[in-house]
Structure 1
């Protein structure tokens, strides 16, 4: 009997400890944030939260008024999380960060340093780490998050989907998550890059138009991600153009598939699609000096042939195209490196990481002045393009069709 009573008492004590989730929130109490923008306002932080409007995204309760699927809350405070909490002054719901899709830094804020925000978001126990990050080029993050987008009702989802598609099919852009960003910011072996978010068209008018921006076949303003922002440690220092961004991603082995062209010797162009691309990088040390070797392997197909004379009738024609493609790839990578050396003077390619992995002892000496060494390090470029397919037809019929 005593044993039974003791068991009941123990179970009662244990039951008293089961108080449930201390921080549980009901769905109708939270504002699901899908996009977060961070800007500078004086000496304070301006936070813009793109929050889903439930009634506008639920198909059965879709409003006939054509209202936006999200609402944007802008609040300024001394720190990031003060601003996030302060949003409750104007929002009837608590800002919930577990469903963030995009984090956007305004250009002015990024130029003054992003480390504080990155660390703060990494500390947040309920914020996921698989959202993507970009920098608003030439404007604020708040402005970008106010643009209504086509195809996707939620603008942050549009940006997220664009990043997914671009990174797989178009080489100038690669995805960056917050844990990857923090790792690079904390490293002495590499400086980071982030995708650049641009507004194409009339941004002020696109913001003013609101939903009218997507009620025409050609919107006034569209959001595009087509190049990279370059950082020195945690501060934005400039931008790469589309071609140099592509060269960067080839070197970093971030290219899956992409399309480019080569010039024909007698005039015209041939468009090539890389079906698969893989880059290998090696380091060879000689008398304490590194030699970086970059080798790209491309499996490609011909998508367009506008050459005046080359008609792909022979193996020699195909080999000529492969040679021209190799030269073009090397040119793109070399130009990217030289642009970064000339304009920014920082190692965004991870050459320091390669040296560290290849020869840790040599790295202990070189890392003290690696940015200077990077400016003169010897680099060898190699490319091997293999044409796997010629398309659905062998020869070009343009001459016959245009005569």
Structure 2
């Protein structure tokens, strides 16, 4: 009798583990967000970004395969909640923002302050706190409606470019969580990647200087070596040096920071170098 009850209990436990999620929905029925741009246009906040869905099918090798179909969404309003309501009312599929890669701020919005949107990211459970944060030279409306040749989508092009540059010591990869921590520390400024589009190619073109959540300046790539040396653990620099006795013969030198000898700190609104 006891053995029979034990077997029944085991079967019930296994069957409960094999059941699917009660609220499961097929990925085909979801509106997958890839990226979002936030800007200020005519005293209103404007959202524009990329979606993808898997509704399309294509024949390949005698088999039908689903292919991502990119689309764009755009809405404007006086507040973030008003825009969210407009987007929900115009979206035929359930929103899924867990795949979002990057948030792109327009210069106008960044100059007014990004704190409210950063707080939104960090307090909403369906948005990843590790989202990459950048500022765009072009207005997001212009940026997201362009076709790029260096990736499959604008969001992927930006995130992949910044990530590989960061891994090679040529850029900083700043997340929403890190930005919020910097905003809360009122005494210090910080930088964000600055991106632009040239010849239909997404490029990292420098950094924007942020203070109290607002953009206060721009630093080009050519002027950024000092920032990178102080901020990155593995800063990398490249120099061309003329050969001895033959100035036309150039040597390319790659300098990598391995053991930092200069320690930096910021105390009582003063920069300390040790």
* TM > 0.5 fold call: yes
Q: How does 1:250-269 map to 2 (within 5 A)?
A: 250-264=229-243, 267-268=247-248, 269=250
1:90 CA displacement: 3.0
Q: Distance in 2 between matches of 1:258 and 1:277?
A: 12
Instruction: State the secondary structure of the residue aligned to 2:103.
Output: strand
- Aligned match of 2:149: 150
- Aligned match of 2:209: 230
- Aligned match of 2:175: 177
Task: Say yes or no: does 1:274 pair with 2:252.
Answer: no
CA deviations on 1:46-97 (whole Å, 9 max, x unpaired) are 111310132469885367xxxx841111101222243133213333123321
For this pair of structures, how many residues does the alignment match? 248
1:235 CA displacement: 0.9
Q: Distance in 2 between matches of 1:108 and 1:26?
A: 39
- Between stretches 256-265 and 191-200, larger displacement belongs to 256-265
Q: Distance in 1 between matches of 2:82 and 2:173?
A: 28
Aligned pair in 2 of structure 1 residues 126, 264: CA closer, same or farther (>3 Å)?
Answer: same
Contact 1:250 1:279 (C-alpha < 8 Å) held by counterparts:
no
Q: Which has the higher strand share?
A: 2
Instruction: State the secondary structure of the residue aligned to 1:149.
Output: coil
Q: How does 1:88-167 map to 2 (within 5 A)?
A: 88-137=88-137, 139-167=138-166
Instruction: State the secondary structure of the residue aligned to 1:61.
Output: strand
Aligned pair in 2 of structure 1 residues 197, 275: CA closer, same or farther (>3 Å)?
Answer: same
Contact 1:170 1:259 (C-alpha < 8 Å) held by counterparts:
no
CA deviations on 1:140-181 (whole Å, 9 max, x unpaired) are 12221222222522221121111111112252x210011011
CA deviations on 1:333-378 (whole Å, 9 max, x unpaired) are xxxxxxxxxxxxxxxxxx41xx4xxxxxxxxxx2xxx2xx45xx7x
Contact 1:121 1:127 (C-alpha < 8 Å) held by counterparts:
yes
Q: Which has the higher helix share?
A: 1
RMSD, aligned α-carbons? 2.7
Task: Say yes or no: does 1:246 pair with 2:225.
Answer: yes
Greater CA radius of gyration, 1 or 2? 1
CA deviations on 1:14-43 (whole Å, 9 max, x unpaired) are xxxxxx86x765534421101111011233
1:126 CA displacement: 1.3
Aligned pair in 2 of structure 1 residues 120, 57: CA closer, same or farther (>3 Å)?
Answer: farther
Q: Gaps (5+ residues) in structure 2?
A: 1-20
Q: Distance in 2 between matches of 1:261 and 1:255?
A: 20
Q: Distance in 2 between matches of 1:275 and 1:245?
A: 15
Q: How does 1:274-313 map to 2 (within 5 A)?
A: 274=255, 277-282=258-263
Instruction: State the secondary structure of the residue aligned to 2:224.
Output: helix
Q: Distance in 1 between matches of 2:111 and 2:192?
A: 13
Q: Gaps (5+ residues) in structure 1?
A: 1-19, 202-220, 283-291, 293-350, 356-365, 381-403
Contact 1:167 1:175 (C-alpha < 8 Å) held by counterparts:
yes
Contact 2:51 2:70 (C-alpha < 8 Å) held by counterparts:
yes
